[in-house]
Structure 1
Amino acid sequence: MNYEERDPYGIYRSSDTTGGFDSEIHQGPGPRLMGANTLIGNDVCNQDGDDLGDIKEIMLDVSSGRVSYAVLSFGGFLTLGEKLFAVPWSALKLDTVNKRFTLNIDKSRLENAPGFDKDKWPNMADSAWAAGIHAYYGTLPHDDTRVN
């Protein structure tokens, strides 16, 4: 399921019949501002079109107001044997034509990525854990310095 199919408030309404984004006919704030609830469940593929799973949760850094990670589910059947991965939000790119996210990673590399079980979540607020995740996906952590 994609974000347009989970859009009860018409955020992504468009009369574009090609399925792409057209700023001339688009109504609403998307795709630069999107509702988190409509993104949960979106498919994630890699650059080759391989299915990498779907977004199960979006993790917000409440103190900074930033999106930190998408929790991606990969493998298993009906949550049995599925593995969860915290993917840095900055590693995901929205594909507005296919209405999914892309992650620039080979399927075999994702299978070997640091993951976790739904019953044993990591401490995502731990800076050492975050550094390892960002290093794996080739992204940079947020700079949390603020100017007041």
Structure 2
Amino acid sequence: MAILEKNYEIDNRTGLNHEGPDANIPVRRLTASSIIGDRVENPQGESLGKIDNLMVNLNDGHIEYAVIDFGSFLGIGGKLFAVPFAELRLDPDKELFVLNRDKEYLKQTPGFDKTHWPDTNDHTYFNDVNLYWGSPYPNY
């Protein structure tokens, strides 16, 4: 019986199910539902929370921010932060995102309460976020 070599690059384009430990490596696309709920750590392995939601820029279609839930316990308390999505790096082996910042930096980030999201038309909050992170997105 012949052993077939898998070519994952071709398989990824065909929509076939993949097998093996590197079936989806390199990861190029993820669904929003597979990102929401993912853990976020810094490079030192400290937990920085989890991705609560994503904010899409309707003008260009890109994910502009990941909303990170930091400091809650079982969904209670804590604070939400809009972090420029470009700041996150996927670690496919650990199945989480890495944010190259420490906890103190995140604590100082402009945030908001889970029940009081910033108005998406109020550009003050997002300008503050962009300035804080040095985001490539222009001020509004």
Aligned 1:64-103 pairs, distance under 5 A: 64-103=60-99
Normalising by structure 1, we get a TM-score of 0.73
Distance 2:17 2:132 in 1: 33
Are 1:26 and 2:31 counterparts? no
CA RMSD of aligned residues (A): 2.6
| Counterpart among 117, 120, 127 of residue 131 in structure 1 | 127
Are 1:44 and 2:40 counterparts? yes
SS in 1 for 2:97: strand
Moved over 3 A (4+): 10-14, 124-128
**Are 1:69 and 1:89, in contact at CA under 8 Å, matched by a contact in 2?**
yes
Distance 2:24 2:90 in 1: 16
* Unpaired segments ≥5 residues, structure 2: 1-14
One-letter code aligned to 2:80:
L
Distance 2:63 2:98 in 1: 17
Q: Between Structure 1 and Structure 2, how many residues are aligned?
A: 126
Normalising by structure 2, we get a TM-score of 0.77
One-letter code aligned to 2:54:
I
**Are 1:12 and 1:31, in contact at CA under 8 Å, matched by a contact in 2?**
no
| Deviation of the 1:114 alpha carbon | 0.9
| Counterpart among 101, 113, 120 of residue 117 in structure 1 | 113
Higher relative contact order (CA 8 A, sep 6+): 1
**Are 2:41 and 2:99, in contact at CA under 8 Å, matched by a contact in 1?**
yes
**Are 2:110 and 2:125, in contact at CA under 8 Å, matched by a contact in 1?**
no
Distance 1:116 1:11 in 2: 42
* Unpaired segments ≥5 residues, structure 1: 1-9, 17-21, 144-148
Structure with the greater alpha carbon radius of gyration = 2
